Amino acid sequence: MTIRRVPMLLVSLAASVALVGAGCSSDSDAGSTTTAPPPAGSVAGVTVPDAFTALTLDTIGNPPLPFRGTDGKYHVVYDLQLTNATKVPASLDRIDVVDGEDPTKVIASFSGSALVDPACVFGDCNRLRDLPAGYVDSNAIPPQESRVLFIDFTLDSLDQAPKALLHHLYGTGAASPAFGMPGPIDYLTTPIAVSTQTVPVIAPPVRGDNWIALNGCCEPGFPHRSSLMSVNGKLNNSQRFAIDWKRTNEQGEFYTGDKTNNESYVDYGTDILAVADGTVVSILDGMEANAPGVLPASNPELAAKLTVENVDGNHVVLDLGNGVYAMYAHMISGSVTVKPGDKVTEGQVLGKLGNTGNANASHLHFQLMDGPSLLEADSLPYEIKGFDYDGQVAPQQIADADDYLSGTFLQGKLPEPESRTDELPLNLAIVDFPEAG
């Protein structure tokens, strides 16, 4: 939802299958049986061995829905809450994601710097964080404290996707509820069904060449993936798959001329488009533009003016049907062309790209979610039905850029763009969206 530098960066909130047991019998009900309800948190076809678990693991958000990225692979992305539920210090040394129906099959494994690396401030590192998703310098989990754990892995084909996942934890912690001595941790826990829902496929939210997917999926070292929030009595991340779309000119520059003037930025004033037919749920208009280079949340005077209602600046939320909502943020004041209740069609102009709300430069923050509220909804992955993939921006270039994003950023452009269909542009992808027609 915001754009800022990294680390200052571009950004813009014991189970088993159902048990069947003999019922109590009497002369009147001899031979009858009852079926016990499945244990809370269980997944059909997955058996979790009974064990004392010093570290508990809970899911945050909906079951993971695999989607295809611009690397040609299918991504499985989700978040977990890890809690030391004892009065004894604990540590997480490794977590293996395994096939829920065959726990001997390890699908992904995370340890060492993938979990904690104090020297890594951005990128594919530091999946273990404190709440709400700040950096920690150790894999230790003090007594009765929690951490967030970001999980992501790829598959070459959807045929490789298991029906369910389990998590094998390794580390140290209380050996039993009766004794306060630490011991080794080595157990299976927390079954998760892999979603078989259909991935939403949408049209582009903007048109033109040289768009960069800033803060896109799926590395935990970039802001959207780690934008966990404590809202409505739960941990939530409605921005897990959000993208900050920002455009360069043919020289790879985000702006030319006066960097303190919003009109100097290549994307400022670009038409923002409906990605599908839908109904307008809510809007906000009338917020004035920010000065480029200053993130309001980092300025005490400006931060005091941010609220839950305006943190996204001027924005539009669309109901696309089937439980899918599209959210567009940071539009120019007075540019919103729709009102709640309006029916819109794919490609219709909703407003103009701007720099309002919690943003330090013009961009379009775009995401899909499973409800109309940025805070309450869970993020949804999606695929864009047609675009040209044109390479990648190097993460270090973004990390080294100033708060105005000075410099050039198309050094990783391909000799010729590649036509793509039904893929989600991954973090820092360079994308061309052909003009309609």
Residue 35, pLDDT score = 56
Ranking 9-18, 44-53, 151-160 by mean pLDDT, the lowest is 9-18
pLDDT at residue number 303: 87
What number is the average pLDDT over the span 169-178? 93
Q: Could you please report the per-residue DSSP string of 234-254? A: EEE-TTTT-EEEEE--TTSBS
The predicted pLDDT at position 21 comes to 32
Helix (H), strand (E) at residue 302: helix 300-303
Mean pLDDT of 96-113: 97
Quick one: the chain helix, strand, coil %, rounded to 5? 5, 40, 55
* Phi, psi angles (nearest 5°) of residue 283: -145, 165
Q: Tell me the C-alpha distance between 6 and 122, whole Å.
A: 7
Is the four-CA dihedral 86, 140, 6, 248 of positive or negative sign?
negative
Q: To which residue do tokens 């920002």 refer? A: 246
CA 323 to chain centre: 18
d(CA 239, CA 245): 14
Per-residue pLDDT for 318 more than 70? Answer: yes
Fold of 201-433: Glucose Permease (Domain IIA) (2.70.70)
Q: What is 49-193's CATH topology?
A: Immunoglobulin-like (2.60.40)
Question: How sure is the predictor about 5, in pLDDT bands with cuts at 50, 70 and 90?
Answer: very low
Residue 362 has pLDDT above 70, yes or no: yes
210: left (phi over 0), alpha (psi -120 to 50) or beta: left
d(CA 146, CA 81): 7
Rounded to an integer, what is the distance from CA 161 to the centroid of its chain?
20
In this predicted structure, the answer to whether residue 29 has a pLDDT above a threshold of 70 is no
Angle at 238 between CA 232 and CA 242, to 5 degrees: 160
Question: Does residue 369 contact residue 246 with C-beta atoms inside 8 Å?
Answer: no
pLDDT tens-place string over residues 276-304 = 999 999 999 999 999 999 999 888 988 88
Contact in structure between 301 and 290 (CB atoms under 8 Å): no
pLDDT score for 36? 57
DSSP single-letter state for residue 103: E
Closest to 56 measured CA to CA, from 164, 184, 193, 185? 185
Which helix (H) or strand (E) segment holds residue 398: the answer is helix 395-400
In this prediction, residue 165 carries a pLDDT of 97
What are the sequence ranges of the domains in the chain? 49-193, 201-433
> With 80 as the cut, is the pLDDT of residue 437 above it?
no
- Identify the band that residue 2 occupies on the pLDDT scale cut at 50, 70 and 90: very low
User: Do you know the residue count of the chain?
Assistant: 437
Residue 345 dihedral angles phi and psi, to the nearest 5°: -115, 155
Top mean-pLDDT range of 34-38, 258-262, 293-297: 258-262
Q: Quick check: 188 and 103 in contact, CB under 8 A?
A: yes
Same CATH topology for 49-193 and 201-433: the answer is no
SS3 state of residue 353: strand
> What is the pairing mode between strands 201-202 and 164-174?
unpaired
For the chain, percent of residues with pLDDT exceeding 90: 77
Candidates 191, 107, 207; CA nearest to 432 is 207
The tokens of 86 are what? 């004892």
Backbone φ and ψ for 262, nearest 5 degrees, come out as -55, -35
At 284, list the tokens.
């906000």
Considering the chain, what is the average pLDDT of its residues?
90
pLDDT on residue 45: 85
Whole-angstrom CA distances from 41 to 21, 91, 120, 208 are: 20, 24, 34, 46
Q: Which of 430, 432, 426 is nearest to 123 (CA)?
A: 426
Q: Give dist(CA 136, CA 409) in Å, integer.
A: 31
Q: Whole-angstrom Cα distance, residue 364 to residue 85?
A: 41
What's the mean pLDDT in 309-330? 96
218 CB burial (10 A radius; 0-12, 13-18, 19+): buried
Identify whether the C-beta of residue 167 lies closer than 8 Å to the C-beta of residue 116. no
